[in-house]
């Protein structure tokens, strides 16, 4: 598989097989991703790989917090406070496509809630990764992290695994840090579900559209 094929095959997976992921595969993925570039070679990544009982305890704490009305607060502002087009329209279309695929109507609040809560379980994937950043680092390190995360996802495709990068797994940073024993001052950037894709699951059948190159690129000579 070449890079272009991996880029097109990768997608945000929301249903996984109940099959454990070999630790050696995860190590190979991270070993490949560590070669991602970073400004001045700072390599700002700090990764927690969570499986088994620890994952179940952590996801239950996050789900309970959400269901009890405790509002999530990421360590940084991921989304804008005021949405404008074209981003507002793309966001709305993304959510509508998911709910339409699952047959969840606008009035079915219970199923909407259940679908959202699945985020905090990393969609029941056997592996959840959490990514931390030292608070001494600045905005450029978030760009470095994006390159690192994409490297993980592409390496996972090569290993026959599926992923879903998740801002939602960063919505309760105090719970994650407490459960995993990380310092409170670290920034929880995001999380990622990882496992073997359930290719028969309806939720994995749709694909979000992408803009054409000519819509976002200008060439100068």
CATH of 3-78+119-203, one of 3.20.20.120, 3.40.109.10, 2.120.10.10, 3.40.1000.10: 3.40.109.10
* All structural domains of the chain with their residue ranges: 3-78+119-203
Q: What predicted TM-score, i.e. pTM, was given to this entire model?
A: 0.95
Tokens 């976002």 label which residue? 216
Q: Give the count of beta carbons closer than 10 Å to the beta carbon of residue 7.
A: 12
In tens digits, what is the pLDDT along the chain, a chain of 221 residues? 899 999 999 999 999 999 999 999 999 999 999 999 999 999 999 999 999 999 999 999 999 999 999 999 999 999 999 999 999 999 999 999 999 898 888 888 889 888 999 999 999 999 999 999 999 999 999 999 999 999 999 999 999 999 999 999 999 999 999 999 999 999 999 999 999 999 999 999 999 999 999 999 999 99
Tell me how far apart the alpha carbons of residues 84 and 136 are, in angstroms, rounded to a whole number.
31
Beta strands in the chain (DSSP E): 46-50, 127-133, 162-166, 187-195
Cis peptide before 211 (omega within 30 of 0): no
């Amino acid at each position: 598989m070449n890079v272009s094929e991996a880029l097109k095959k990768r997608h945000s997976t929301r249903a996984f097989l109940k099959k454990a992921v070999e630790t050696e595969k995860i190590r190979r993925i991270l070993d490949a991703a560590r070669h991602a570039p970073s400004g001045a070679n700072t390599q700002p990544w700090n990764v927690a790989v969570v499986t088994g009982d620890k994952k179940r305890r952590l996801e239950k704490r996050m789900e309970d917090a959400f269901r009890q009305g405790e509002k999530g607060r990421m360590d940084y502002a991921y989304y804008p406070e005021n949405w404008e087009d074209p981003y507002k329209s793309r966001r709305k279309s993304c959510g509508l496509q998911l709910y339409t695929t699952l047959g969840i109507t606008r009035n079915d609040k219970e199923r909407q809630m259940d679908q959202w809560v699945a985020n905090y379980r990393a969609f029941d994937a056997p592996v959840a990764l959490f990514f931390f950043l030292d608070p001494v680092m600045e905005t450029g390190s978030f760009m470095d992290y994006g390159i690192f995360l994409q490297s993980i996802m592409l390496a996972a495709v090569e290993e026959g695994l599926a992923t879903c990068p998740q801002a939602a797994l960063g919505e309760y940073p105090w719970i994650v840090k407490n459960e995993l024993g990380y310092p409170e001052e670290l920034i929880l950037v995001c999380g990622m579900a990882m496992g073997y894709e359930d290719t028969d699951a309806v939720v994995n059948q749709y694909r979000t559209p992408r803009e054409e190159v000519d819509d976002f690129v200008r060439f100068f000579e």
